[in-house]
Chains A and B, each alone.
Chain A
């Protein structure tokens, strides 16, 4: 992006009418529309099975709507307009048939998966953080600098040479965030970032996430965490976005939450301002 003014006008993420049916016929997404502007932090809320993870896997082309590629195979003639779906990341359309743009998309969309043991597979922390940028073609000093920078951003610099299984769960989750930050993504996508964290690790991660100057989409059903981190929330249920607005006012609407199997933890209540 050379022209900063133009960059401001192109949203980081634009999802248009995305449909997806799994090969076994289970319909996961029924026309999702979502636009996230640069610098926004948005929570994607929804009950289990709402299609949150399916949507996330669309953002970098691992899954894709449309019957023209191998993923949907013989189900291409599904009648709910699968071909019309479109995902754009900072103006670049996700096209799974185009390997070159796909690499670019995967640099722009940084997904932090739920289980850090899935994300961290290299023998040491530093090697794992280097994996993404090395795939982008970085080598030598430039690569080392990316690794240092990403580890510093999550406060894990002193653990760079340790093996992932020697770290605490909270530390592993922070390293997982660093592995994605090292690719300098346009948008950071976090799948249940607060799950399995103890209260202190949860707070530390929140502080780190708030300090990152990056567009963020956070998938969660941890509603207080959404309130703390994301000014805006969208609710996905049964494959469609059913609500989109200011997090506080969404969470204050008890009836809306109940309709979509979302609940604040016991003893919590949020009042709209």
Chain B
């Protein structure tokens, strides 16, 4: 079977951050991001401070900077959007290298770029140190609605199955002379997507039958994320608290 150990983002090694309970990490990451987003965009030094905090967590988690930087390419589409802003913004302008740029637009671009990047880094660090399964257990423990965690649990399980099915269908198409470079053959691809949808739908029905055959009544048995002690909560709170301190310090000075 082609299903490898497909942890796209998780880095399988040990570190203090890996060992922390998932719900603690999620809470810490979300609060940190909230502080970052609430920081006035003019406080440039605050963002430098946040970057240092991220670097510290990265060091603790033994994540290489290169890993983080390549993965953060995911925000590229947003960055492109942000780069347009200085050119289309209105109001006061400033000349840089012969270009007339809007000050408002520059701040807007900086706002998206800095806050977006910090948010992506925080999420990546969470993903690098927590398995998808633990993330779900953590969300469950944080009282995230069970419907959402159930859907995500199923996705976690069946994404691999469906991808494998799609791969087999693609091989079968290729084996019968399909060539994805020929646009007129795109119909076969479209039909393939359609039948994949139908197959998944039918599988959903079969899974449900198998579930009610084992007594399913609408609730999955609760996951068992280990509770976190005060020490762990305290350690995890350091990140958002430090961010808060930086924000307050830069705003007041």
Which residues does A use to contact B, with CB under 8 Å? 57, 60, 62, 103, 106-107, 109-111, 113, 115, 117-124, 127, 130-132, 134-136, 163-166, 168-169, 179-180, 183
Complex Cα spacing A87 to B227, Å: 46
Please provide the chain B residues from 155 to 180 with a CB less than 8 Å away from any CB of chain A in the complex. Answer: 156-158, 160-161, 164
Please state if B210 and A135 are interface contacts (CB–CB under 8 Å). no
Chain A residues with CB under 8 Å of B160's CB are: 165
Cβ of B154 under 8 Å from chain A = yes
Nearest CB of chain B from residue A169's CB, rounded to whole Å: 8
Chain B residues with CB under 8 Å of A127's CB are: 221, 223
Cβ of B70 under 8 Å from chain A = no
Please state if A57 and B209 are interface contacts (CB–CB under 8 Å). yes
Chain A residues with CB under 8 Å of B1's CB are: 165, 168-169
Complex Cα spacing A110 to B210, Å: 10
Complex Cα spacing A164 to B164, Å: 14
Cβ of B96 under 8 Å from chain A = no
Chain B residues with CB under 8 Å of A180's CB are: 214
Contact A135/B214 with A117-B203, A121-B207 known, Cβ cut-off 8 Å: yes
> Nearest A residue to B132 by beta-carbon distance?
A123
> Nearest B residue to A107 by beta-carbon distance?
B215
Of the A-B pairs whose beta carbons lie under 8 Å apart in the complex, a sample of 14, sorted by A's number, is A57-B209, A106-B212, A106-B215, A113-B210, A118-B207, A119-B207, A122-B153, A122-B157, A123-B157, A131-B211, A131-B214, A132-B215, A165-B3, A169-B1
Complex Cα spacing A37 to B206, Å: 29
Q: Mark B215-239, 1 if CB is under 8 A from A, else 0.
A: 1110011010000000000000000
A103 touches which of B156, B206, B215 (Cβ 8 Å):
B215
Chain B residues with CB under 8 Å of A136's CB are: 215
Taking A109-B213, A165-B157, A166-B5 as given, write out 12 further A-B residue pairs in contact, using a Cβ cutoff of 8 Å, ordered by the A residue number: A62-B213, A103-B217, A106-B213, A115-B203, A117-B158, A119-B210, A127-B221, A131-B211, A131-B216, A165-B3, A165-B160, A183-B214
Complex Cα spacing A168 to B2, Å: 11
> Nearest A residue to B222 by beta-carbon distance?
A134
Chain B residues with CB under 8 Å of A109's CB are: 213
**6 closest residue pairs by CB, A with B:** A135-B215, A134-B221, A132-B214, A118-B206, A165-B160, A165-B3
B3 touches which of A57, A120, A166, A183 (Cβ 8 Å):
A166
Please state if A131 and B221 are interface contacts (CB–CB under 8 Å). yes
Nearest CB of chain A from residue B237's CB, rounded to whole Å: 29
Contact A62/B212 with A115-B206, A121-B207, A135-B221 known, Cβ cut-off 8 Å: yes
Q: Which of B203, B215, B216 has the most CB of A within 10 A?
A: B215
Chain A residues with CB under 8 Å of B164's CB are: 165
Chain B residues with CB under 8 Å of A130's CB are: 221
Cβ of B133 under 8 Å from chain A = yes
Nearest CB of chain B from residue A168's CB, rounded to whole Å: 8
Chain B residues with CB under 8 Å of A119's CB are: 207, 210
Chain B residues with CB under 8 Å of A179's CB are: 214
Please state if A183 and B215 are interface contacts (CB–CB under 8 Å). yes
> Nearest A residue to B3 by beta-carbon distance?
A165
Please state if A164 and B157 are interface contacts (CB–CB under 8 Å). yes
Chain B residues with CB under 8 Å of A123's CB are: 133, 136, 153, 156-157
Nearest CB of chain B from residue A124's CB, rounded to whole Å: 7
Complex Cα spacing A163 to B157, Å: 8
Chain A residues with CB under 8 Å of B223's CB are: 127
Chain A residues with CB under 8 Å of B133's CB are: 123-124
Chain A residues with CB under 8 Å of B207's CB are: 118-119, 121
Chain A residues with CB under 8 Å of B157's CB are: 120-123, 163-165
Chain B residues with CB under 8 Å of A131's CB are: 211, 214, 216, 220-221
Q: Which of A117, A130, A164 has the most CB of B within 10 A?
A: A117
Q: Mark B185-225, 1 if CB is under 8 A from A, else 0.
A: 00000000000000000010011011111111100110100
Chain A residues with CB under 8 Å of B154's CB are: 121
Nearest CB of chain B from residue A24's CB, rounded to whole Å: 16
Nearest CB of chain B from residue A8's CB, rounded to whole Å: 27
Please state if B161 and A165 are interface contacts (CB–CB under 8 Å). yes
Chain A residues with CB under 8 Å of B3's CB are: 165-166
Chain A residues with CB under 8 Å of B212's CB are: 62, 106
> Nearest B residue to A143 by beta-carbon distance?
B221
Complex Cα spacing A111 to B211, Å: 10
Chain B residues with CB under 8 Å of A111's CB are: 210, 213
